[in-house]
Amino acid sequence: MAEIEFTHVTKVYGGETPAVRDLNLKVGEGEFVVLVGPSGCGKTTALRMVAGLEEITDGEIRIGDRVVNDLAPRERDIAMVFQNYALYPHKTVYENLAFGLRMRKVPKDEQRRRVEEIAGKLGLADMLGRRPAQLSGGQRQRVAMGRAIVREPEAFLMDEPLSNLDAKLRVQMRAEIARIQKALEVTTLYVTHDQVEAMTMGDRVAVMRDGVLQQVDTPQRLYDAPVNLFVASFVGSPPMNLFEATVEADGSQLVFGETRLDLGSRSLRDYSGRRIVVGIRPEEVREASGWDGARVRGRILLVEALGSEQLVHIEIAATPLERADLVDAAAQPPGPSLGVEDLERSVTLLGRFDRHLLLTPGEAVEVAIDARLLHFFDLETGAALPAANVQAVAGVAG
Amino acid sequence: MSAVAVTRPRSRKRLRKAGWNALALLVLAVMVFPVYWMVTTAFKPGHDILSYTPQFFPTHPVLSNFTDAVHQQFFWNAVKNSLIVTSVVVVLSLVLAFLAALALAKFSFYGRKPFIVVILGVQMVPLAALIIPLYIMMSRLHEVDKLSGVIVMYLTFALPFAVWTLRGFLLGVPKELEESAMVDGATRFGAFVRILLPLLGPGLVATSIFAFILAWNEFIIAYVFLHTPEKQTLMVWLASFTTLRGTDWGPLMAGATLCALPVIIFFLLVQRKIAFGLTAGAVKG
């Protein structure tokens, strides 16, 4: 086991804008770190640089005590699982699993012992004689995993290994990979574009955008205290509700639509008279009865029943966030609905409501918004303003 | 009524299918008949060959045509020459085309696109337009009437196709396979030999068949470039049965049958290796 460390790592392809910019990241021994971000954010490039499949333009990557910048992939003692598995089609499952051992001149008996052990653990024991074409998607995925495990490498690198599986199998393999990683305690760097995968699997999650690392933290911290609008909008499903508001009364009040919200202890004195971005997680948008906080009147647009709960789209009067460049494109909330004259500038709030509430589209509704649960962001830079102490409040409110 | 309405389109479909099948059989007959005629004529005695009522089956088969053909002057010379030319062309075109295709498929370099286009382009120039300038060029290089000259000529015609075909096969092998092998502990060359090469088998076979057929069956270039009887290839040797006094059909057909055999044998030997879709299962689920 070894740690992986990026120090000021930059990757530039042929003089264009860098794919990875000044990346500093440390994956501790036995730690599971997930690199996540929208496609083209540089996460795969970062991973491939660790594997040695991509040259490092600037900076330094260390695996254990060794700087690996100039080492060939085979000298780095890492194993990689590819998005498309990259099984050798002309070799049997056994040969696929044993390939890395053979390359490293492990004695034949030892090879056999290790391959059979892994095959047993992964439920591939009956398939050692088959070729990849004769396996199902899940089995191929397992062979790809097995090929990495059997080597007993210093670290695992995984490049979206689950994205070719169907939804159900993906959830199952997600848990299986996390379990295997915990059992083996192998340092793992895992790349995905799926924030749910990132949140559920990683000890820590590193969010990247346009080649720049945005934030590295535990999934919970990332969710509760995003450092900027991008992370706030990227992490969480359904995404955080975002809209603009004005800070008034010397920083003690927030005004949007007809609502005037007392900020209490969370004074925004420095932003008095300016516009900021307000964010609130769907589960913190509550039907007014029985909850503290400012009442905001709205109208129900749509109710999506999920069984355990319902997702409610509520239109309220507020100014939609127009800085699309600051948020994750995929997570942009639906635009204001047309044809509602009395709400000149409206925002659709997404709320997770208890399934027992009877709600019908078109109905007027009042939601409670607790100022202590709000996230604030600078409208210019997208940076988070003094963090909301969600944990503490949730404890009180719940 | 309804039954009629249902069966009518079906029977029409069946009729159409039968029509296509009949056409295919006709085309097959037209293609196969000359071959059949060649082989049967090879076994017919002279008077049967020249009789005005065509003999569709040799009623009194003889082998004399074959012995005549084999004992014809320069036969063994021609066999030797053809074998040399063909084997050298096959081997060289495989090696050169493979390396060229590798460069085109796996590396990016300045002028790659134009190069690919030119490879396709040169194949469109008709042979007849090239043969005189080529002859002049080769004679300046003192390569006329030499097997090496003919080999070079054949390579110029075999290579574009071979490079193009192999490039397609190489592009079909996902780059992750090599990368995975390299991460697993293979060198770049090792990944290439252990992973890429076995997957290219069908491509190499297809290319070698093409080169074999081209070099073995070529007539015009060999006829123009090789003057001395000792240096002629089999196809030119076959032409020697046609003389000023007429054509000796029996031995000619026997010779032609013998000449066709190696191609068929070579194809039968390697055709099992043409297992397209060998990369199935490498990637994706």
What is d(CA B225, CA B132) in angstroms, rounded to the nearest whole number? 10
Mean pLDDT of B95-120: 87
Q: What is the pLDDT of residue B88?
A: 95
Chain A interface, best mutation among B184, B194, B196, by max A CB count within 10 A: B184
Task: Pick A80's closest partner by Cβ from B180, B281, B285.
Answer: B180
Is omega for the bond preceding B126 within 30 degrees of 0, making it cis? no
Q: Do B284 and A84 touch (CB under 8 A)?
A: yes
Average confidence (pLDDT) over A168-190: 89
- Predicted confidence at residue B230, as pLDDT, reads 87
pLDDT > 90: percent of chain B: 19
A220 touches chain B (CB under 8 A): no
pLDDT in tens, A237-265: 888 888 888 888 777 888 888 888 888 77
Is A141 or A394 the better-scoring residue by pLDDT?
A141
Under 8 Å between Cβ of B173 and B142 = no
Over residues B110-133, the pLDDT tens digits come to 888 888 888 888 888 888 888 889
The pLDDT mean for chain A works out to 85
A164 vs B: CB within 8 A: yes
Q: Is B110 on the interface with A (CB under 8 A)?
A: no
Q: What is the pLDDT of residues A110-132, one digit of tens each?
A: 899 999 988 888 888 888 888 88
Beta strands in B68-141 (DSSP E): none
pLDDT at A398: 34
Q: Per the CB < 8 Å rule, is B285 touching A53?
A: no
Mutation target to probe the B interface, by most B beta carbons within 10 A, among A68, A83, A84 is: A84
All residues of chain B having their beta carbon less than 8 Å from the beta carbon of residue A164 are 284-285
**pLDDT the model gives residue A353:** 87
Q: Which of residues 310-369 of A touch B (CB under 8 A)?
A: none
Enter the pTM of the model. 0.77
pLDDT at B275 over 60: no
How many CB pairs below 8 A link A and B?
A: 96
Q: What residues contact A370, with CB distance under 8 A and at least 6 apart?
A: A284, A291, A292, A293, A294, A393, A397
Facing residue for A82 by CB, picked from B176, B185, B198: B176
How sure is the predictor about A341, in pLDDT bands with cuts at 50, 70 and 90? very low
Judging contacts by C-beta atoms under 8 Å, the chain B residues touching residue A85 are 282-285
Q: Is any Cβ of chain B less than 8 angstroms from the Cβ of A123?
A: no
pLDDT digits (tens, 9 = 90+) for B214-242: 899 888 888 888 888 888 888 888 888 87
pLDDT tens-digit readout, A257-298: 888 888 877 777 788 888 889 999 998 888 877 777 778 888
The pLDDT value recorded for residue B8 is: 67
For chain A, give me the number of helices (H) and strands (E)? 9, 21
Sign of CA dihedral A277, A281, A287, A291: negative
Alpha helices, DSSP H, located in A38-92: 43-51
The mean pLDDT of A38-67, rounded to a whole number, is 90
When pLDDT is cut at 50, 70 and 90, the band that residue B33 belongs to is very high
**Contact list, B190 vs chain A (CB under 8 Å):** 103
Which of A194-208, A275-289, A317-331 is least confident?
A317-331
Nearest to A9 by CA among A17, B268, A20: A20
- Minimal CA–CA distance to B100: which of B165, B148, B187? B165
Of B177, B183, B198, the CB nearest to A79: B183
Read off the pLDDT band of B245 (50, 70, 90).
confident
Length of chain A: 398
Q: What CA–CA distance (Å, rounded) separates B40 from B258?
A: 13
* Chain A residues in contact with B188 (beta carbon < 8 A): 72
pLDDT over threshold 90, residue B92? yes
Q: Of A83, A107, A163, A139, whose CA–CA distance to B179 is shortest?
A: A83
Specify the CATH number of the domain B73-246.
1.10.3720.10
- CB contacts under 8 A, B 173-202 vs A, are 174, 176-177, 179-188, 190, 195, 198-199
Q: Chain A residues with CB inside 8 Å of B283's CB?
A: 82, 84-87
Angle at B222 between CA B218 and CA B225, to 5 degrees: 155
Nearest CB to B179; choose among A53, A132, A138 = A53
The residue with greater pLDDT, A341 or A329, is A329
- With cut-offs at 50, 70 and 90, classify the pLDDT of residue B47: confident
Q: Which residues of B touch A74 (CB under 8 A)?
A: 182-187
Tokens describing residue B261 = 């055999």
Select the highest-mean-pLDDT range: A59-63, A327-331, A343-347, B268-272.
A59-63
